[in-house]
A and B are shown apart, each in its own frame.
Chain A
């Protein structure tokens, strides 16, 4: 590919005849060029996609359906009592964590991308690693650690909860921001500088706006995670809407009232997604052919030391201290032989976790690719199917679990499976539920990376006579390959940390690491939770390393 043509278009208004620009009007033209999204006109593909979207959305719709018979009584009582507080807590947590993760993720990403300082390379990796620590683990570690200095009363605050969530979730924004900054060409900054911008002005007026779609994508994931969290909030006595769904459901057995709250949650998620689209704007930022990367400014003396300190400080706070605490507990558990509450040893739990995470990830990946390849989101039906397929990510895990339970149990009652075979409590049933919950992560990741492939590249290939299939298989998917691997790793980490769905739907003989953590923490036996927590973090770290390798490797292939 020719770097001169594409680079020149970086800031020059796009040639009206051919959309090669970094900023184009997005809509119609891109879909006219992209091979992906065009091939699904054949009916087998359409059928497969429609079937997937329906299968994945049914469990959520089953729950939502309950509100056809609204339980106004409970609803009125909720309005009069807890609901205002739930909305306030949810809004406070959501806004605080969103602002926190965007500021933290973006500035750390800019720091390791634009500046050279001691430890920069290793920090670029280490700053992603908080992703490997589940919020509920970081939560109980901090709760126990800060209890003494802060006091039991002030440690249980929404602000500390927001801090814990910010620290575990900022890597989503960091990853996207870092990838966006790395893809940017120095030329854009140079042009801005030549027009009189200072370096920091160039960041605010060029680099940051160009990274905006990626930041919005990362922030949207963070928003979903915060909205649906039910593990971390309860540790800190924060009463969110998601927590309220479970409170109403399990406290009163009133599924309708719980469903109404769940629909409120879906409503907020829809607003959040709309805001993300708005933040992306009509602009589409595509990769240009040559990615020279930004010129890195070498920091010296005090500034270099300060940059290092910020990076290492963050890592210490988010990963090193909790790890230290977990290791101390693990040693104590070993010394005092406190391992008796679970069945099966560490190896057994690790294998269970790996098996579930691997199969769920591959399933999400396959279906995600199918959807991205087949859906034409410009069409109303395509957008609807995409929304259906990603519905499960907007409701808390336990709600998905019950929805899947009800759906599969109804299928089991029809007796269409051979005698003695049941979907509820089967491995297939568990994987299905995890796909319902996490397909959105795979789909979003794949879709955004495919969307970034420059239309000009595709147009060139088409001009040279390549068919649509050839373009998709030889150009679009390889170019988006790194993004696809990254999306898979995110799904893998999500499924590895997943608790509520696995707890309700796991088959006999499958006991994952988070189940072990739950067994111990539900009895406040923090010491006994250390070993499985460490195992989750270790596997998560390996996955994070794979993620970064994929991103680096992807960058090399493309340039």
Chain B
């Protein structure tokens, strides 16, 4: 019968396999690595041959991991998610966590993990030499791998004298002409945290209030904020630079320009993409190997994948990003962003920032 109906046989095999795979995948530790798409299958099978990564930064991350595996033979298994949720998972798992490395797309979230005691302090000459002091935590629990600047952007067609400080964005001149990202997003929270660090809570409240008084159009996507400026929905906005990198890669004549803010003072607000070894990492050596590789051999590829600025100042950014020009960054604030985030959320609420 099976000869006459090979399809049925195939079908029942498929169903069987489905059931088995459904039942058999409750072991998280080792076996499921084979069917993980985040694993390249051709690395050598060593005892320290695999690391597990929780990453809140997911745009274009897979090719970078693949490159690392090719270079070192260490396989990478990863899961993506939102930074705060991955932190909750790490905290809940405690000693049982399978994660060796946690990567975030902002400084506050990694600092909250450090406070919760789920990150390991790392002793690495490679990292202390390549990553500037301001871009790693005080006891080396986390390391920035790239910087993203949050700047003032303006239409190159309609705006002649764009504001050059964050406070000036609140000038009544921009009433009804301003686009901002909602307060739910970490980028907004971290920007306000940097204002608190520089100006104090009262000063920051005043600035944010002046933005809110300009009746901003809130758009929950930096790409759409750039497009809104291009389309004339608003004249100026606050956004991250690397989205412009992506847009310029598609259209070199995109009519929006960058203004580097606070260049006469502390410098433009920067946030960072970070990586950290977890306190309970099953494979801490492999974890450190990945972070060291990302800070050195993989540094350029990691930053370029998303048009960001490398954390290592000796590494050149990609050509489009270099075209944005030189700027002073507010590096001093980076370590304190996490501690000031709750205050930032309170300021945003108090001012009625949407």
Contact = CB atoms under 8 A, between A and B. Distances in A.
Interface of A: 77-78, 80-82, 148, 151-153, 156, 234-235, 237, 239, 243, 246-247, 249-254, 340-344, 348, 351, 355, 358-359, 398, 401-402, 405-406, 409, 412-413, 420-422, 424-429, 503-504, 506-511, 515, 519, 522-525
A348 B35 CA distance: 10
A503 B85 contact: yes
B94 A504 contact: no
B341 A152 contact: no
B341 to A, nearest CB: 7
Contacts of B70: none
A338 B80 CA distance: 19
Nearest to A362: B22
Q: Which 5 A-B pairs have the closest CB atoms?
A: A344-B37, A343-B37, A250-B84, A409-B92, A524-B221
A503 B81 contact: yes
Contact of B22 (A152, A402, A427): A427
Contacts of A82: 349
Interface in B11-46: 18, 21-22, 25-30, 32-38
Nearest to A505: B89
Contacts, number: 162
Interface in B167-188: 179, 182-184
Contacts of A254: 342
Contact of A234 (B92, B184, B349): B184
A294 B8 CA distance: 44
Contacts of A503: 81-82, 85
Given A234-B184, A252-B342, A509-B37, A524 B224 contact: yes
Contacts of A519: 58, 80
B179 to A, nearest CB: 8
A237, A425, A506, most chain B CB atoms within 10 A: A425
A506 B231 contact: no
A405 B90 CA distance: 10
A156 B27 contact: no
Nearest to A244: B184
B217 interface: yes
Contacts of A239: 354
Contacts of A425: 28, 79, 89, 93, 98
A523 B28 contact: no
B254 interface: no
Interface string B72-111: 0000010111101100110011111010000000000000
Contacts of A243: 184
Nearest to B223: A524
B39 to A, nearest CB: 8
Nearest to A351: B18
Contacts of B322: none
B22 A508 contact: no
A81 B349 contact: yes
A401 B84 CA distance: 13
B349 A355 contact: no
A152 B29 contact: no
B233 A413 contact: no
27 contacts: A152-B224, A152-B228, A237-B218, A237-B220, A250-B84, A251-B184, A252-B345, A340-B63, A343-B62, A355-B18, A358-B22, A409-B94, A413-B94, A413-B96, A421-B26, A422-B98, A424-B93, A425-B98, A427-B25, A504-B85, A507-B26, A508-B32, A508-B38, A509-B25, A509-B35, A509-B36, A519-B80
B28 A152 contact: no
Nearest to B342: A252
A406 B36 CA distance: 25
B222 interface: yes
Nearest to B226: A524
